[in-house]
Amino acid sequence: MEQIRAVVEIIQRSTDAYMFILDLTSDIYMLPEKAVKRFPFHSTMIENCTETLKKIIYPSDYEMVLADIEKCRLGEQDTHTLEYRWLDRMNRVVWISCRGTVVTGAEGRKLLIGTVSELGKKAKADNITGLRRETRFRLNTESLLRDRPASIRYMMRMGIDNFKEINEKEGIEAGDEVLRELAECILKTVDESVDVYRLMADEFMIVDAGTSERQNPRTVYKQIQGTIASMAKSKEYSRFYTVSAGVLEGDFSGRTVEEIMRYTEFSLNEAKRGGRNQMTIFEQASYEVYLKRLDIRKALRQDINNDFRGFEVYYQPIVSTSDYKLVGAEALLRWQNDKYGKMSPAVFVPILEESGLIIPVGRYVLWEAARTCKRWKQYIPAFHIHVNLSYVQLYRSDLMMDVERCIQEIGIEPESLVLELTESGYIETNEQIKSLFKDLKAKNIDLALDDFGTGYSNMRYLKEIDVKTVKIDRSFVVQALQNDYDFNIISHIIDMVHSLGSAVCMEGIEEKEELSKMMATKPDMIQGYYFGKPSPPEQFEENFLKDVNFP
């Protein structure tokens, strides 16, 4: 025995694992000094192993471990290979892998000799939360999918909504604490037979393939929310966080781990996109929509990198109501692709925005429109070109620099340019944008407030940002044509806009009767199919610039 111990001590120096000898006959357990430091063993030599392990092994794993050792003792098996949980000196859960072999010595004495290694050290378990990690989730899920896919009821991927913020504002330790707390909340809520893993960063995976009573994932999610809330309360609201979750249910046979990872990630992101603090159940149809959007984005990017292949700028006439003469045009982006054909800007502009691609495309439109405007000023010296801007361009690019460069390179007067912005909540709140508006004003570049009447319709903006023109959206006009109430509202709004010193451009007039009726509200300009649809520059020039008078 002493000889074996000496050998073990030597080998111990060259490994991270804890080597152990368990005398199955006398129940004596020997382990190295460093195991005693980390786990609450009282010495390196333990007389009644079975009793002592009761304090070390995580309670619900104890019976299983003991049963396995018993089989070794009875000679029913000669190896012991198990993954289970120990509790360290801080009473934190540590996943370990225990592997041993039964050796029969002199006098028939049976020894189990082997190693205990911490899974956390191999990134299979996490010493912050005491949960197993993604590697282990993948391995276990692979065997679940292979052996008993029908037993899987749901998988729930859960993420902390403001984890980055907690880490940044309160430090990594606070982040770790939240992770530990959430792990605790989840474990408290789910049944013993449900597996919980920690994936990367702030994400957890809950796998119900258990034998206990079936629980509805939504109920489980709500309960976890409840536990988090009461935990926050018990800690006197010193820290607050919420969680979102994505759930995959249904038939798991034929699924792969990769699919599960992708689908649950998608649903979790959906929950976050939907405003966080909520749970989303995976739906194939919305996933397909998402994939299509990704594919459209890819096609857009390829075309942009191919010198804006398939992109074009169309122009729609803007007519003055005093004499029905052309005063300008709005530049409207068009895109045509081999795979997707012609697509409405209402569909592809938002995709350009969310990917940031609107920045290069916005530049392309600005340069095209400025060039065209310069040409058309030969016909109408006071011609104005309207260019739509996205809030992404305001926030994420140096718009002022682009506009100045464009004006300079093309050589047009800044007064010819009108930048159209959709009204929304961001305008008045952001200081940086307010100062951008001042700079534009100082450079004599006019602003138009687009889609008026569809969103916030806050008159205050008009004062704040000093717009030259307010564009009333077609949907608003359609309503006014249908009922007197809306008609009166539009009339009043137009009066108010006028009294604030801005002009009104009414969009979407399609018929002569519509024009006659809406003229009573006294708009200053009209843009609508009645005067002309958006068309390519050559056609616009042919139809509207070469000696044409409108009806």
| Sites of contact with ligand C2E (CB under 6 A) | 316, 332-333, 344-346, 349, 358, 362, 365, 388-390, 420, 450-451, 474, 507-510, 527-529, 534
Q: Applying CB under 5 A, does 423 fall inside the site for Mg ion?
A: no
Single out the residue of 145, 159, 117 nearest to residue 31, CA to CA.
117
Q: Applying CB under 5 A, does 208 fall inside the site for Mg ion?
A: no
Specify whether the CB–CB gap between 70 and 94 falls below 8 A: no
What is the per-residue DSSP string for 11-57? HHTT-SSEEEEEETTTTEEE--HHHHHHS--S-SEES-HHHHHHHHB
- The least distance separating ligand C2E from the CB of residue 365, rounded to whole angstroms, comes to 4
- The least distance separating ligand C2E from the CB of residue 525, rounded to whole angstroms, comes to 12
Nearer to Mg ion, 246 or 534 (CB): 534
Q: Which entry of ligand C2E, Mg ion, none binds 346, CB below 5 to 8 A by partner kind? A: ligand C2E
Nearer to ligand C2E, 97 or 457 (CB): 457
Specify whether the CB–CB gap between 300 and 357 falls below 8 A: yes
Among 270, 353, 420, 423, binds Mg ion (CB under 5 A): 420
- The least distance separating ligand C2E from the CB of residue 331, rounded to whole angstroms, comes to 6
Single out the residue of 477, 449, 444 nearest to residue 462, CA to CA.
449
Specify whether the CB–CB gap between 115 and 18 falls below 8 A: yes
Nearer to ligand C2E, 316 or 502 (CB): 316
Task: Name the helix (H) or strand (E) containing 474.
Answer: helix 474-482
- The least distance separating ligand C2E from the CB of residue 372, rounded to whole angstroms, comes to 13
- The least distance separating Mg ion from the CB of residue 508, rounded to whole angstroms, comes to 8
Distance from C-alpha of 480 to C-alpha of 489, rounded to nearest angstrom: 8
The region of 31-39, 46-54, 367-375, 470-478 touching Mg ion under the rule CB under 5 A is: 470-478
What is the per-residue DSSP string for 489-506? HHHHHHHHHHHTT-EEEE
Nearer to ligand C2E, 158 or 406 (CB): 406
- The least distance separating ligand C2E from the CB of residue 547, rounded to whole angstroms, comes to 24
E strand map for 375-490: 384-388, 417-422, 446-452, 469-472
Among 134, 208, 450, 524, binds Mg ion (CB under 5 A): 450
Q: Which entry of Mg ion, ligand C2E, none binds 529, CB below 5 to 8 A by partner kind? A: ligand C2E
Distance from C-alpha of 414 to C-alpha of 71, rounded to nearest angstrom: 88
Nearer to ligand C2E, 274 or 350 (CB): 350
- The least distance separating Mg ion from the CB of residue 388, rounded to whole angstroms, comes to 5
The site that binds Mg ion (CB under 5 A) totals a number of residues, namely: 5
Q: Which entry of Mg ion, ligand C2E, none binds 333, CB below 5 to 8 A by partner kind? A: ligand C2E
Nearer to ligand C2E, 46 or 509 (CB): 509
Q: Which residues pair with 207 in a beta bridge?
A: 155, 195
- The least distance separating ligand C2E from the CB of residue 466, rounded to whole angstroms, comes to 20
Nearer to Mg ion, 115 or 388 (CB): 388
Single out the residue of 363, 366, 349 nearest to residue 300, CA to CA.
349
The region of 7-15, 57-65, 370-378, 418-426 touching Mg ion under the rule CB under 5 A is: 418-426
Single out the residue of 299, 398, 307 nearest to residue 348, CA to CA.
299
Phi, psi of 271 (to 5 degrees): -60, -40
Single out the residue of 182, 137, 139 nearest to residue 163, CA to CA.
182
Q: Which entry of Mg ion, ligand C2E, none binds 332, CB below 5 to 8 A by partner kind? A: ligand C2E
Specify whether the CB–CB gap between 41 and 20 falls below 8 A: no
Residues 376-395 that bind Mg ion (CB under 5 A): 388
- The least distance separating ligand C2E from the CB of residue 407, rounded to whole angstroms, comes to 17
The region of 131-139, 232-240, 444-452, 532-540 touching Mg ion under the rule CB under 5 A is: 444-452
Specify whether the CB–CB gap between 39 and 86 falls below 8 A: yes
Q: Applying CB under 5 A, does 451 fall inside the site for Mg ion?
A: yes
What is the per-residue DSSP string for 478-491? HHHHH-HHHHHHHH
Nearer to ligand C2E, 190 or 427 (CB): 427
Q: Which entry of ligand C2E, Mg ion, none binds 208, CB below 5 to 8 A by partner kind? A: none
- The least distance separating ligand C2E from the CB of residue 532, rounded to whole angstroms, comes to 9
Q: Which entry of ligand C2E, Mg ion, none binds 474, CB below 5 to 8 A by partner kind? A: ligand C2E
Task: Name the helix (H) or strand (E) containing 431.
Answer: helix 431-442
Distance from C-alpha of 485 to C-alpha of 150, rounded to nearest angstrom: 60
- The least distance separating Mg ion from the CB of residue 451, rounded to whole angstroms, comes to 5
Q: How many CA atoms lie within 13 A of 164 on its CB side?
A: 0
Q: Which residues bind Mg ion (CB under 5 A)?
A: 388, 420, 450-451, 471
